[in-house]
Amino acid sequence: MKKYLHTAAENDGIQELSKEKALETIINSTTDTHTLARIITYNEIRSQFKISLKQTRIDYDKLYYPEAENLIIKHLNISIPTQFNDILFIQNTNTSETEDKNSSTSTNQNNNSVSSTSQKEILDNSTLQKENPFQ
């Protein structure tokens, strides 16, 4: 594992750099979080005599990857709101359903009144025609 990390560091030209310098060099060419987390991991375990893969994986997930994410956020000047205003995104379903029911009821009432008015006109016209068939 140490040999692999050392070879990877040689390929990137960061084997002799400090952690901060290596991250600064690499972050200008990539914003891949895993790459940055691996550089942090390399710098943490290169000084250790004996390494545990299990502990390295735990540290990677809990420490090194979040540290890499924070570096990218700072490098790109990303601002993340700490509190969201959910009122802009959440619609009260009860209000929406009530409004839909009210609008459909009023539409039905309007349609019914128009329909009954038309029926009255038709009846009135037909009655007139029956009374005066010679008009």
pLDDT at residue 46 is higher than 80: yes
Contact (Cβ atoms closer than 8 angstroms) between residue 3 and residue 45: no
Task: Indicate whether 130 pLDDT > 60.
Answer: no
User: Residue 132, Cβ neighbours under 10 Å: how many?
Assistant: 7
What is the model's pTM?
0.56
The predicted pLDDT at position 120 comes to 53
